[in-house]
Amino acid sequence: MIELNNITKIYNPRKNNAFEALHEVSCEIHDGELVAIIGKSGAGKSTLLHILACIDNYQSGEYKIDGIVVKNLPERKYAKIRNEKIGMVMQDFALVEDFTALENVMIPLNFLRKKDIKKKEKALQALKSVGIEELAKKNCNKISGGQKQRVAIARAIVNDPSVILADEPTGALDTKTSAEIMDLFRQLHSQGKTIIIVTHDINVAHQCERIIEISDGKIISDSLQ
């Protein structure tokens, strides 16, 4: 479960160019929900996603994931949360282009502190679960955008995280491929994953169970579909 209580994020605090990206944002996202976060460019939705992903910190308030307060932790604890509880899917895929699909999916497994002798098998299973196991040995600079996004999703789920965060996951894709990727997210949701999608595409948002709208760093609506 994700709990946000009065989260405020200020960039360049105490400087002339200080900017409040989030202002006292509060909400709860329960296990197994499929949620869209929408808003115009600059509304604060990506800032919120980065806080949820433990990529960025915040000035005040409290963020808890599965009861753990996420603030001012040692970097190793942030890394542990990121690697074990959260899977991240980026808009630009963020793949190592001259790695194979399999090598890209194995990257999170390489950061595990405990030795895992089944890394290859786990990565192959993740690729199979997104329907592209046949591309395992193909370099990512040789595959399509939709296939890259599937590799990125496989990488996000390879450690079996409870939460998947996706930043504009269909933004670089055509309509048909976008629909296929959303079908994949719904399949993962049906398996019990908590999925949070940041999107500017209202059609994508309406395929989620719940829509949270942000404007000027504040939640202005939160509704079930």
Residue-wise pLDDT for 64-110, tens only, equals: 999 999 998 998 899 889 988 999 998 889 999 999 999 999 999 88
Domains and CATH numbers, the chain: 2-224 (3.40.50.300)
Is residue 48 a contact partner of residue 211, using CB atoms and an 8 Å limit?
no
Please state the pTM of the whole predicted model.
0.93
CA distance 176 to 46: 25
Least confident range of 116-120, 128-132, 181-185, 217-221: 116-120
Note the pLDDT of residue 85: 93
13-68 tens-digit pLDDT: 989 999 999 999 999 999 999 999 999 988 999 999 999 999 999 999 999 999 99
Closest listed residue to residue 126, CA positions, set 103, 99, 95, 96: 103
Is residue 19 a contact partner of residue 7, using CB atoms and an 8 Å limit?
no
Note the pLDDT of residue 99: 97
114-131 tens-digit pLDDT: 666 688 999 999 999 999
Please report the sign of the dihedral spanned by the C-alpha atoms of residue 149, residue 4, residue 44, residue 199: positive
Residue 225: pLDDT band (50, 70, 90) is confident
151 to each of 28, 101, 102, 118, 129, how far by Cα in Å?
29, 6, 8, 19, 10
206 to each of 1, 97, 163, how far by Cα in Å?
22, 32, 20
| Cβ atoms within 10 Å, residue 138 | 15
CA distance 61 to 9: 9
